């Protein structure tokens, strides 16, 4: 059953309410009517009519899945021309001397882990790490000078030497170059340190020296060298390997640099690490 409409004594109750409101707030009744008419015709905008805001997004790096190239700062030799000496030119089998090197120029190169390891092994970082031995060949011979001392390495006929003779020749060359600048031999210098310092001169088939009680420091150098040698052959397998390489690289600026001239002269000889 539909309820009857509500009856009222006022013909237009809404108009009467507007007139009362105009009287209360003190404005003209026609203004109230105009306001109500305007609000009745106003249509609020729909949600889909609102302007859209475009926020540009940065595209993902297309190379984010590629392996990162390792850039490292390594000290490389600053070069300066060096005139060849008459005694160097007279040596038939000696290779041309490379340009003079110092440790003052720094360049940035992007290197792989293996390249970084080989660079460290080539130079060494004494007393932390001995320079790698070289793969001396029969036809190679270099002129090495230290002050007034001149030696030719490897010595002639070295392939016919016994292992002990090779050891004696290596020790003699190391002692000669160490004292070649006219300085007195450091009495506190250990035999193991001297031979590790000139480890790059050891000939293939050389007998292993007996070090006696000097084993602690040399063992540390040996295991550091062996770790890097394995990385050069097999590559690195963990972050600890890369961190170790970075630690050794960090020690390069503090290394014993007295053999840099010798290393410069034999820089074309390949490493013997296999």
- Over the stretch 89-141, which tens digit does the pLDDT of each residue have? 334 333 333 433 434 333 446 888 889 999 999 999 999 999 999 999 877 89
Which residue stretches of the chain are H helix?
A: 13-25, 29-41, 86-89, 113-123, 163-179, 191-197, 215-234, 239-250, 260-265
Residue 170 lies in a domain: yes
Decide: 163 and 203 in contact? Cβ < 8 Å. Answer: no
16 versus 267: the higher-pLDDT residue is 267
Residue 274 lies in a domain: no
Cα dihedral sign, 114-264-143-165 = negative
In this predicted structure, what is the pLDDT of residue 183?
55
Residue 145 lies in a domain: yes
188: Cβ contacts below 8 Å, ≥ 6 apart: none
Residue 129: phi and psi, rounded to 5, are: -150, 130
Taking only the tens place, the pLDDT of each residue in 39-67 is: 555 455 554 544 444 444 444 444 333 33
Residue 96 lies in a domain: yes
169 versus 146: the higher-pLDDT residue is 169
Taking only the tens place, the pLDDT of each residue in 181-219 is: 555 556 567 889 999 999 999 999 999 988 776 678 889
Q: β-strands 100-110, 142-146: how paired?
A: unpaired
The 8-class DSSP code of residue 60 comes to P
Residue 232 lies in a domain: yes
In this predicted structure, what is the pLDDT of residue 189?
76
The 8-class DSSP code of residue 103 comes to E
Residue 39 lies in a domain: no
For a pLDDT cut of 90, what percent of the chain falls above it? 43
In this predicted structure, what is the pLDDT of residue 95?
37
15 versus 265: the higher-pLDDT residue is 265
- 142 pLDDT more than 90: yes
Residue range of the domain that includes 131: 71-265
- Label residue 10 by pLDDT band (50, 70, 90): very low
Alpha-carbon gap, residue 246 to 125, rounded angstroms: 13
Residue 203 lies in a domain: yes
Residue 242 lies in a domain: yes
Tally of domains within the chain:
1
- Give the chain's radius of gyration (CA, Å): 43
Average pLDDT of every residue of the chain: 73
Q: Measuring CA to CA, which residue among 130, 137, 250, 142 is closest to residue 199?
A: 130
In this predicted structure, what is the pLDDT of residue 147?
76
Q: Measuring CA to CA, which residue among 229, 192, 184 is closest to residue 211?
A: 192
- 77 pLDDT more than 70: no
């Amino acid at each position: 059953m539909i309820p009857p409409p509500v009856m009222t004594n006022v013909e237009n109750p809404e108009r009467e309410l507007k007139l009362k409101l105009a009287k209360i707030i003190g404005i003209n009744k026609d203004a109230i009517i105009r306001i109500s008419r305007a609000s009745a015709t106003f249509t609020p905008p729909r949600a889909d009519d609102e302007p859209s805001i475009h926020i540009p997004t940065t595209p993902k790096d297309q190379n984010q899945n590629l392996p990162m190239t390792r850039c490292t700062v390594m000290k490389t030799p600053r070069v300066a021309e060096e005139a060849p000496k008459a005694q160097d030119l007279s040596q038939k089998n000696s290779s041309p001397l490379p340009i003079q090197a110092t440790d003052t120029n720094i360049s940035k190169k992007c290197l792989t882990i293996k390249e970084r390891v080989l660079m460290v092994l080539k130079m060494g970082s004494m007393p932390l790490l001995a320079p790698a031995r070289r793969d001396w060949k029969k036809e190679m011979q270099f002129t090495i000078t230290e002050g007034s001392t001149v030696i030719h390495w490897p010595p002639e006929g070295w392939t016919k030497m016994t292992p002990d003779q090779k050891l004696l020749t290596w020790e003699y060359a190391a002692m000669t170059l160490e004292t070649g600048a006219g300085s007195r031999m450091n009495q506190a210098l250990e035999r193991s340190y001297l031979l590790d310092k000139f480890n790059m001169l050891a000939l293939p088939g050389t007998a292993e020296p007996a070090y006696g009680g000097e084993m602690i420091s040399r063992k540390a150098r040996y295991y550091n060298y062996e770790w890097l040698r394995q990385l050069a052959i097999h590559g690195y397998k963990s972050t600890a390997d890369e961190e170790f390489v970075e630690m050794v690289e960090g020690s390069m600026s503090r290394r014993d640099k007295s053999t840099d001239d010798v290393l410069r002269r034999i820089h074309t000889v390949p490493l013997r690490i296999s």
